Amino acid sequence: MPAPNVIVILADDLGYSDIGSFGGEIDTPNLDRLARGGVRMTSFYVTPRCSPSRAALLTGRHPHSVGIGVLTRDNGPAGYRGSLDESVPTLAQRLKDLGYRTALVGKWHLSSDTTTPNGTWPTRRGFDEFYGILPGCSSYYQPPLMSGESRVPEAHADPDYYITDDLSEHARDFVARASAGDTPFFLYLAYTAPHWPLHAREPDIAKYRERYRAGWDTLRAERFRRQADLGVAGVAEPPPRDEAVPPWADVDDRAWEVERMATYAAQVEVMDRGIGQVLDQLERSGTRENTIVMFLSDNGGCAEELPHRPGEPVFGAEICPRRTRLGEPVEVGNTPGIMPGPEQGYISYGRGWANLSNTPFRLYKRWVHEGGVASPFIVSWPSALPADRVERRPGHLVDLTSTIVEAAYGHADTAGHSLLPVWKGSDDEPRTLCWEHIGNAAVRRGRWKLVREWAGPWELYDIEADRGESEDLALREPSLVAELAAIWEQWAKDNAVIPWSDVLADFRRRGRPETEALG
């Protein structure tokens, strides 16, 4: 069999249960058909933040060891560099060495310098083509768009411009061109959707307003029932609502909340629509059978609140040119102001809806509890993998480079762990997986998961019986806590994890606010 083409599709801040094949009520027919033709992993893990997940995906290494411990801020000699280590080859470089044609369409977010071309830009890390943005987020209507190493200002002149559609069209066109060639191709399609700001067109938002008037309590229960029917719930009972989220009946401005989630859902559906264009192009080109297509999110749903207070100036104006010119504050709640959807707002969907997105798990992006690190994962390779299969054994982002290189090269990559046997249903050795982000830490070995928030005590969960992390068993199993904590400490040393207390102390010594350390 010739080497397969490879497409990795990465969503940004998408929750575990948002798409249809993982229980969501958002219309995602194209991802659902991808799931019917492939394998869904219910225990696929990522890191809890944007840049670290991208670093792990592209290097097969834990992100701290390749310079990305938090995000892309250069934290100086005592901290993380905030740029992908130039001495570590990327997946694109490895596939290029194997004769692949390579392209990145979408978000990079792996360089601390996004103004001057340098060795950490995608075109210098193995990608023949790059079309997208270098920073971590932007306006959907006025993004700081790049083609290769040059700005693309002309796109902003189009009043109907929308970045998700633009990325989908470029991805589709790359597949058409690459399929006509005589070498295999690798496409990394890294959408900015559905990361805030909540930007979507009115017709796409309108179809969801009635759907979300039911509120997050009803919708979480409905999602859980669908997850149980689909075999992707991971827990036996529906989890309680996050105690920091009010009951839907007690929400003061439900119209505002409905608008936020309707806009988020529109962003997801438009992304799915674009994925359909890519899949359709594969079929038209006759390359679908021998193309590996993967879909996942970079972390769990995001509970960040933007803006934080009524009347607060727009966040992110520095990377949103037209917003800088307008200079208008965003106002929320019952105060008349700018609503989600149009360009004038820079708004997120908040904790209540993130709790829905991460059904049935606990916590969110930035945390290493299941809500922060569990991702929906779909892989389809019609000529080599089974269809419509649910796999419950764990996998991790650091596995993907080895898995893809093995598929491309035809031999096992001894540098990492391949998921090919897992996807095909073969037995696999038990895994030990570890995480760290801004002091939040976790280790999973078999059914046990040890996890803590920064400066908090270790919590212990039987993750097979209680993946919702609701019953802390740490006091009952002190020896197991000590054993797993020692495993985590060794992993942290081996992977250049800087203790978070040291990171904060360094910021204080230099007279910089500790909040900067968060990225």
Instruction: HSE, CB side, 13 Å, CA atoms: give it for residue 349.
Output: 33
Catalytic residue among 50, 137, 302, 320: 50
Per-residue CA distances from 383 to 3, 4, 23, 356 (Å): 12, 9, 27, 36
Please provide residue 19's backbone torsions phi and psi, each rounded to the nearest 5 degrees.
-90, 160
Per-residue CA distances from 332 to 39, 241, 264, 342 (Å): 42, 23, 16, 14
Buried-state track 276-292, b at ≥16 Cβ within 10 A, e below 16: bbbbebbeebebbebbb
Length of the chain: 519
Please confirm whether the linkage preceding 247 is cis (ω < 30° from 0). no
d(CA 275, CA 195): 17
Torsion over CA of 354, 52, 143 and 328, rounded to 10 degrees?
A: 50
d(CA 96, CA 90): 10
Q: Which residues contact 171 (CB under 8 A, 6 or more apart)?
A: 105, 187, 189, 274, 277, 278
d(CA 198, CA 191): 14
Instruction: HSE, CB side, 13 Å, CA atoms: give it for residue 213.
Output: 5
Q: Is 109 a catalytic residue?
A: yes
Please provide residue 259's backbone torsions phi and psi, each rounded to the nearest 5 degrees.
-60, -40
Q: Where are the alpha helices (DSSP H) in 44-135?
A: 50-59, 91-97
DSSP string covering 208-252: HHHHHTTHHHHHHHHHHHHHHHHT---SSSPPPPPTTSPPGGG-S
Q: Which residues contact 315 (CB under 8 A, 6 or more apart)?
A: 306, 307, 346
User: Largest Cα–Cα distance of the chain, in whole Å?
Assistant: 63
Place of tokens 């039911």: 214
Catalytic residue among 62, 64, 109, 396: 109
185 within 8 A of 101, measured Cβ to Cβ:
yes
- Position 175, amino acid: V
Identify each DSSP E strand in 110-214 by its residue range: 129-133, 146-147, 150-151, 185-190
Q: Does the CA dihedral 34-49-359-475 come out positive or negative?
A: positive
**Residues classed as catalytic:** 50, 109
